[in-house]
Amino acid sequence: MKSRNYWSATLLALWGAAWMSSPVFGDEGMWLFNKPPKELLKTRYGFNVTDAWLEHVQKASVRFNSGGSGSFVSPDGLVMTNHHVGADDLQKLSTPEKNYLRDGFHARTLAEEIKCKGLELNVLLSIEDVTEKVNAAVKPNMSLAEAFAARRQVMADIEKAATDAAKNLRADVVTLFQGGQYHLYRFKKYTDIRLVFAPEQQIAFFGGDPDNFEYPRYDLDVCFFRVYENDKPAKIEHYLKWSPNGAKDGELIFVSGHPGRTNRQNTIAELEYLRDVGYPFLLSRLNRLEVLYSSWSERSEENRRRAKDELFSVQNSRKARIGGLNGLLDPKLMARKVAEEKRLREFVAQATKPELQAAAKAFDIIAECEKKRAALIKEVTLWENGAGFNSALFTIARTLVRGAAEKAKPSGERLREFGDARLASLEHSLFSDEPIYDDFELLKLADGLTFLVNQLGLSHPLVAQVLDGKSPRQRAFECISGTKLKDVAVRKALWEGGQKAIDASNDPMIALAKLVDAEARRVRKAFETEVDEPKRQAYAALAAARYALDGDNTYPDATFTLRLAFGVVKGYVEDGKKIPAFTDFAGLYERSKEHGNKPPFDLPPRWEQRKDKLHLKTPFNFVSTADIIGGNSGSPVINANAEVVGLIFDGNIHSLVLDFIFDEELARAVSVDSRAIVEALRKVYDADDLADELTGKKRVSAK
């Protein structure tokens, strides 16, 4: 029997050029930069997308390895993103005496810019289709395990050949269309990143959790960093200029960013798994962590500072998953998904080409995979994904333990994160001297171990070994208080010493990581070979069938790789009420007043003091129909001239279904207006130097 991957390659060759109808709706699309919607934009908006325009926007776009997007906004390496994207770095740089996350930061000179800890930024330089190379490695009659190993080997080889450490070039083979295509992305990597400016979190996240994913909004969710090379600000050819006029109602805009993950091409069986198993299980964990972090934060101001970024992340994820689950429980949404799948099933069933039978079988294969996924999800989450060992120190220990074993193997046989092409980035993170707090680590690890017991029971043999006759908190205290892994020098010695050093170590966290590693690897391998690999091959067949049905004028699901979205600045009607596209500074003060200026609607003192200096009718936030999802945070919003008119920071509550299906009736992307950023810099923060750099009036090299 031939491998399903064989059929996907055959289908692509036979049907890739076919065309029947466009599969996209309205302003839908997270488009590849090497496959932009040129005809769609020309027909709908009269805009001609040139290759030069695309190259400029692509190379001005930045990916944060911590999860988020950004862009170059000056020729001197200045990078703009969201405050909440930079929050992790603000947290790492803060101390009890200087809380940059809460109070903000402004470097008035280059000398005052603070070097970040463990942060890496990537800029996409080129894209190459390597689908044929990857598919050729998977031979007919290979088992699923053999196919997975062969694909891992060839992808590692491709990445290694394209990596150039001397030039700080990183290479990733990206899986698209769930296995229908593979593209090689080459990135310029920056690791010397310095903080330039951040406002107070209270104005960046004004309204807090109650206003999160809501609109109207009044948030200055912006943060600026600078990339350095050879200890000097990097000289950047492609950067986005600042629009003096901002966005206009009804204007065509573009978003260049890195959407994290969507599930729009999932079969009904996979959506049902997420609805019935995946999301409920994840939400139970998020709810638990939210209560844990919130309660601990209330004990002291220092606790609040230490936990704030992780608490925000948990709350944000919880609200997003609730919105996604509500979408999956919406009969109208699911009816659309059922109709889409029915259309594809009927096309496959009526086709005369025998190769399409692979696609016909793919639906059943995916359904079986989802049953196995449901059976494995608890163990994978606990052992491999780390929910049972919620600790930065445990993560470091696992990396060291696995690194010793993996580095001894040829690159293509290693776990993918340890391949030669990824080692430099992994080491940059592993050896970061970011602060790790024993009390917060104890809280998290004790809860993780308790969660492990809750899910698997005290009678589970490995759980019993993990606890070693102690309570979860006692065991956590033993590991946290006894480990030396907070010391970067200790980590480097263990990393460089290899297996011999790991075997000789008596560090309790290393011992814990060693104890559970075999079980974690077992469930990971089961998931990769029994769920990931057959689904990859099945989805490749479905992707080929979609090509046969709709042609190639479509886009893949999001993969945290650079995409181009478009839309128009546009309000909406909700429950019969018209919601205008723009808010302004006047609305900010009105919103605070109507809540008695009490948290989370209180204003930082300087915003109260500088109110009379602000032009209160300055547009603050705005919404558009651009197609975005998590990961797009920090993406620049640009006009047709590739000028910055805004900064993506959120979606409204109706946008949470965009994970599964596009809707532009109510779903909106929410942005900070470029005019508000400059107005606040000048009138509230006395940051004329930064405002002048953004608007092109001053170069930092002249300072």
For residue range 28-42, what is the model confidence (pLDDT) as tens digits? 999 999 999 999 999
Tens-digit pLDDT profile for residues 281-312? 999 999 999 999 999 999 999 999 999 999 99
Buried b (16+ CB within 10 A) or exposed e, 353-381: eebbebbeebbebbbebbeebeebbebbb
pLDDT-derived band at 467 (thresholds 50, 70, 90) equals: very high
d(CA 274, CA 268): 10
User: What is the secondary structure of 10-77 as a DSSP string?
Assistant: HHHHHHTT--S-----TT---EETTS--HHHHHHHH-----HHHHHHHHHHEEEETTTEEEEE-STT-
pLDDT-derived band at 600 (thresholds 50, 70, 90) equals: very high
Q: Is the pLDDT of residue 9 over 60?
A: no
Tens-digit pLDDT profile for residues 332-382? 999 999 999 999 999 998 877 766 777 889 999 999 999 999 999 999 999
Q: Is the pLDDT of residue 505 over 90?
A: yes
Q: What are residue 258's DSSP bridge partners? A: none
Between 698 and 233, residue with greater pLDDT: 233
Q: Which two tokens stand for residue 260?
A: 């994290």
pLDDT at 549: 87
pLDDT-derived band at 399 (thresholds 50, 70, 90) equals: very high
Question: Average of pLDDT values for 155-174?
Answer: 95
Q: Is the pLDDT of residue 547 over 90?
A: no
Tens-digit pLDDT profile for residues 91-121? 999 999 999 999 999 999 999 999 999 999 9
d(CA 238, CA 693): 15
Tens-digit pLDDT profile for residues 242-265? 998 999 999 999 999 999 999 999
d(CA 281, CA 101): 31
pLDDT at 23: 63
Residue type, 230: N
d(CA 198, CA 82): 9
Residue type, 415: L
Residue type, 74: S
Can you give the length of the chain in residues?
Answer: 703
Mean pLDDT, the chain, as a whole number?
A: 94
The pLDDT > 70 percentage for the chain reads 96
68 by Cβ neighbours in 10 Å (0-12 / 13-18 / 19+) ranks as: buried
d(CA 3, CA 629): 34
Nearest to 88 by CA among 118, 122, 121: 118
Strands 193-198 and 114-115, bridge-based pairing:
antiparallel
Tens-digit pLDDT profile for residues 128-144? 999 999 999 999 899 99
Nearest to 67 by CA among 122, 113, 25: 122
Residue type, 48: N
680 by Cβ neighbours in 10 Å (0-12 / 13-18 / 19+) ranks as: buried
Residue type, 359: A
pLDDT at 91: 95
d(CA 664, CA 24): 12
Q: Which two tokens stand for residue 558?
A: 């999001």
Q: Which residues neighbour 545 within 8 Å (Cβ) at sequence distance 6 or greater?
A: 11, 15, 344, 347, 348, 356, 359, 362
Task: Reply yes or no: is the peptide bond before residue 280 cis, omega within 30 of 0.
Answer: no
Question: Average of pLDDT values for 470-474?
Answer: 98
pLDDT at 190: 98
Answer yes or no: pTM beyond 0.85. yes
The pLDDT > 90 percentage for the chain reads 91
Task: Reply yes or no: is the peptide bond before residue 37 cis, omega within 30 of 0.
Answer: no
pLDDT at 350: 86
Q: Is the pLDDT of residue 5 over 60?
A: no
3-state secondary structure at position 697: coil
Q: Are 483 and 509 in contact (CB under 8 A)?
A: yes
User: What is the secondary structure of 610-671 as a DSSP string?
Assistant: TGGGS-TTSEEEEEE-----TT-TTPEEE-TTSEEEEEEEEE-GGGGGGGT----SS--EEE
Residue type, 491: R
Output the CA–CA distances (angstroms, integers) from residue 611 to 338, 614, 619, 684, in the order listed: 52, 6, 15, 8
Least confident of 343-357, 537-551, 624-638: 343-357
Tens-digit pLDDT profile for residues 649-675? 999 999 999 999 998 999 999 999 999
| Sequence-ordered alpha helix ranges (H) in 70-138 | 83-93, 100-103, 131-136
Domain ranges of the chain: 269-532
Phi-psi region of 478 (alpha: psi -120 to 50; beta: other; left: phi over 0): alpha
Between 546 and 551, residue with greater pLDDT: 546
Question: Residue 559 gets which letter from DSSP?
Answer: -
| Sequence-ordered alpha helix ranges (H) in 237-330 | 268-273, 279-297, 301-328
Nearest to 448 by CA among 429, 430, 463: 463
Q: What angle do CA 480, 482, 386 make, to 5 degrees?
A: 35
pLDDT at 319: 94
